[in-house]
Amino acid sequence: MKAKKALSDGELIKNCAIKMAEAFNENKVGNKFQTVPLSKQTVTRRLEDISNQISNNVKDIIANCSYFSIALDESIDVSDTNQLLIFVRAIKEDFTIFEELLKVCSLHSTTRGVDIFNAVKSAVEEFGGFEKLSSIVTDGAKSMTGTISGFVGFLRQNQITVPTLHCIIHQEALCAKSIKLSTTMATVTKITNLIRGGNRSLTHRKFLTLLEEMDSAYGDLLLHTEVRWLSRGKCLVRFFELRHEIATFLREEVTNSAELQNDLEDVEFLRNLAFLTDITQHLNVLNLQLQGKKQTICQMVGFVDSFRKKLHLFKSALDKNNLLHFPCCRKLSEEEEEEDLEFRDYTEIIEDLSSEFDRRFNDFESFRPDISLFSNPIHCDIESQPGHLQLELCELQCDPSLNTSQVTGIDFWKLLSPERYPLLRNWALKLCSVFASTYICETAFSSLKHVKSKNRNRLSDVVLSHILRVATSQLEVDFISLVSSFMKPQCSH
């Protein structure tokens, strides 16, 4: 079930086990395997039992947690059903974090703000209500963020006044799209599709043969997929490294490609390609840093702030035509015969990208004072902190054991005594409970695509929900209690 295989695979596994037993002349063992019920219907019931146990464990976690936040994202599956995924991030008193699927809501009709709100309200109330909710993060769609008829608007109308955030990774991806070199990317995509897109199997095979003969660094080009965060960067790196082989191939094998050949020999295009490849790679590094589960909002905002500083460094370097941080630009400059190959004019693009980063992430700015305190409580200015925390901060900054501690971040806050620092611990618990991205939803959609494919598009909403809960859960399943809950095991006939 964790492997997201078809429910009918149980019979295949059973037959394989029987054959293995017979191969080792263990006929008694084979006969015992015969009695194991693994039909599709039985596996479905077992799946439901496991899913229900996980669901009950999630209810217990939420009931006993200090705070929780939720992440929302929606996508359309292969049968044109809109699937709304709701994940919960709960934190216990000891700073243990749990990130689990709360509910899969299949929206068969409209997906307006009111529909999303009703689905979320039903799911959260089923697991204990909004009392401990600290924040909500969404994918930033209009139906989510609308302050009047959107999901956020209905939250406010129902006096649910928690912070609502736009996924930090989505915002980073939108910043990346602001780079004004779309013509260059369009040319790269056109050439790539000309070689290996659509019905070009023969052309593609010839290209692979050429790469093998030329002992190239890479064995193939990569197709660009707009919806994948890292696709553009990976596609550009391959294209830049194989640009000489591509030019040779177009010249020898592809007719009516004179214009594209001229592009690959044009210095201006190559400069744009090199710069776009380098800056996209830097953005990919940031994107990878923001991915991952159980990251705190402090860590993720820190990664964005770090990239902002890098942009200022990049601009300063390009002003001097210093290509230290632009390996593709440096490589192109070394290859070209002209020694005065300039990249200074790309500082404007860096400035625009920096402005875009400054324009976005405004919803995270409200957390800036909290992040500053969380990151450095020992040396913070006490008078500028919330009044209810000031007295405990005075004690904390004068506590010798904490002052000499080498741990930072969430590990530091674990050291605080609940008896001596109850308010500070509670404040830190609430901040650590915040979801800053919908990354966990995106990974679940990958599982959803695998589970509900064109070959398995008849799965019911209930079964799909059970499969995704089991597939995405990090909780241990107590199989012993599940088995003992049945009065008498059923044997296969």
Walking along the chain (493 residues) 10 residues at a time, the average pLDDT comes out as: 67 73 77 73 85 95 96 92 96 96 93 94 94 95 90 93 95 92 92 86 91 88 84 94 93 87 91 96 96 94 97 96 94 77 92 94 93 94 95 95 89 94 97 96 92 85 92 91 73 56
Domain count, the chain: 4
DSSP assignment of 42-103:
HHHHHHHHHHHHHHHHHHHHHHH-SEEEEEEEEEE-TTS-EEEEEEEEEE-TT--EEEEEEE
Helix spans in 197-338 (H):
201-213, 231-241, 243-253, 258-265, 267-290, 297-319, 327-335
- Same domain? For 90 and 147 the reply is yes
- Same domain? For 151 and 194 the reply is no
Joined tokens for residue 129: 């209500």
- Same domain? For 149 and 123 the reply is yes
User: pLDDT tens digits, residue range 80-92?
Assistant: 999 999 999 999 9
* DSSP three-state, residue 351: helix
- Same domain? For 151 and 288 the reply is no
In a domain, 263, yes or no: yes
- Same domain? For 323 and 255 the reply is yes
Report the interhelical angle of 297-319 vs 267-290 (nearest 10°): 160
- Same domain? For 106 and 186 the reply is no
Last-in-domain residue among 318, 335, 362: 362
Domain containing 88 — which CATH number? 3.30.420
Count CB atoms within 10 A of the CB of residue 397.
14
- Same domain? For 312 and 225 the reply is yes
In a domain, 368, yes or no: no
What's the DSSP call for residue 105? E
In a domain, 406, yes or no: yes
pLDDT at 205: 93
pLDDT at 255: 83
In a domain, 492, yes or no: no
- Same domain? For 159 and 16 the reply is no
In a domain, 491, yes or no: no
Kindly report each contact of residues 121-125 with a partner whose C-beta sits within 8 Å and lies 24 or more positions away, as own/partner. 121/158, 123/86, 124/70, 124/86
Distance separating alpha carbons of residues 350 and 315, to the nearest angstrom: 6
Please work out, in degrees rounded to the nearest 5, the angle formed at the alpha carbon of residue 396 by the alpha carbons of 393 and 398.
115
In a domain, 369, yes or no: no
User: pLDDT tens digits, residue range 12-67?
Assistant: 676 777 778 778 887 777 777 677 777 778 778 888 999 999 999 999 999 999 99
Please work out, in degrees rounded to the nearest 5, the angle formed at the alpha carbon of residue 429 by the alpha carbons of 427 and 430.
65
- Same domain? For 389 and 448 the reply is no
Joined tokens for residue 139: 């994918």
DSSP lists the bridge partners of residue 76 as 82
- The letter for the amino acid at 355 is S
Nearest to 47 by CA among 491, 493, 460: 460
In a domain, 1, yes or no: no
User: What number of CA atoms fall less than 13 Å from residue 131's CA on the CB side?
Assistant: 10
In a domain, 264, yes or no: yes
User: What number of CA atoms fall less than 13 Å from residue 304's CA on the CB side?
Assistant: 29
- Same domain? For 182 and 269 the reply is yes
Last-in-domain residue among 335, 362, 389: 362
pLDDT at 489: 59
Distance separating alpha carbons of residues 160 and 72, to the nearest angstrom: 16
pLDDT at 200: 81
Domain that holds residue 263: 174-362
- Same domain? For 469 and 420 the reply is no
- HEC secondary structure over 14-25: HHHHHHHHHHCC
Last-in-domain residue among 415, 433, 451: 433
- Same domain? For 115 and 209 the reply is no
pLDDT at 1: 55
Count CB atoms within 10 A of the CB of residue 216.
15
Joined tokens for residue 17: 């086990």
pTM recorded for the entire structure: 0.91
